[in-house]
Structure 1
Amino acid sequence: METIKTLNNLLSRNYDAEKGFQLVAEKTKNPVLKNYFEKNSRMHNKFGHELKQEITHLGGKIDKGTSIEGDLHRGWLSVKAAVAGNTDEALIEECERGQTTALEDYQSAVNELKSNPLSSKLATHKAEIVDVVNELKTLELTA
């Protein structure tokens, strides 16, 4: 079923984001940013649980892993952070990049499932990710 495939794609994105935010929370030395990154990791964990419930409700099989693209992004994040000296600006830029990709996937899913009752939940997730992208842009200006 195409809906399950779409939801599993979003689930992988949320696994990616959760792990990515955990990684940057470990790398920053700024306690305010650490809390912010941990909060966003928890948000994506929550989204993941909601998506898993929907997939199960639809009778689908839940994908358990992250995406290859997400794994590569986290690897790049580690390299970039090491080269840039773990600067908060570099960490914020990479978070923004990852969230922008997640936002694009959510927009595609909302468009694809617009006649499906799930589109409302996905639009709510998307709105929260938009907020995070905007917050990251603001943080980037002050880092």
Structure 2
Amino acid sequence: MNNDKTISILNDLLNITNDRIAGFAKVAGKAWENYNDLRPAYDDMVAEAWDMKEELIDLIQSKGGNPDDQTSISGAFHRAWIDIKDTFASDKAESTLENVVFGEKAAIDAFQNALNSGELCRESEAVIGKHLQQLSVSYNKFKVLEKIS
């Protein structure tokens, strides 16, 4: 197992987790007036993202790596797209919910790809597998809540 490759993949996931946190900050408060029942699920997703960030940083450091505690370029483009889309959206709250669901699905895909890469050690696979499960549970919950709101 190539430790440098593992660290690189973990840093990519850290960047994606930071994208989630930045995205959550961008949409905070935009949907809660109309969809207050979604707030607890959203708050749980935000807290979970911060926990995942800390676990990824610890894992990278335990592998001898330096955490790349940044956001990604694609995440920055997505947040800019959120701003543009919200400017023209007739229902800004609904647009916000769609953006959250889209971002979470992208995170799930990235974590699944990391697991499928075959480049992670067992310890990393266990942590990333747990994160993927958490992402999937919160995504499914939010997706269901989005449909009924």
Q: TM-score, normalised by structure 2?
A: 0.86
**What percentage of residue pairs aligned between the two structures are identical?**
28
Q: Which has the higher contact order (CA 8 A, sep 6+)?
A: 2
Matched, 1:109 2:119: no
**Regions of 4+ moved over 6 Å:** none
Q: TM-score, normalised by structure 1?
A: 0.90
- Aligned partner of 2:127 in structure 1 is 121
Which of the numbers 32, 42, 56 marks the counterpart of 1:51?
56
What are structure 1's unaligned runs of at least 5 residues? none
Matched, 1:32 2:47: no
Partners of 2:6 and 2:121 within 8 A in 1? no
Number of equivalenced pairs: 143
Partners of 2:6 and 2:120 within 8 A in 1? no
- Aligned partner of 1:141 in structure 2 is 147
Q: Which amino acid aligns with 2:10?
A: L
SS at match of 1:26: coil
Which of the numbers 20, 26, 48 marks the counterpart of 2:23?
20
Q: Distance in 2 between matches of 1:25 and 1:71?
A: 16
Aligned-residue RMSD, C-alpha: 1.7
What are structure 2's unaligned runs of at least 5 residues? none
Of residues 43-52 and 69-78 in structure 1, the stretch that sits farther from structure 2 once superposed is: 69-78
Q: CA deviation at 1:121?
A: 1.2
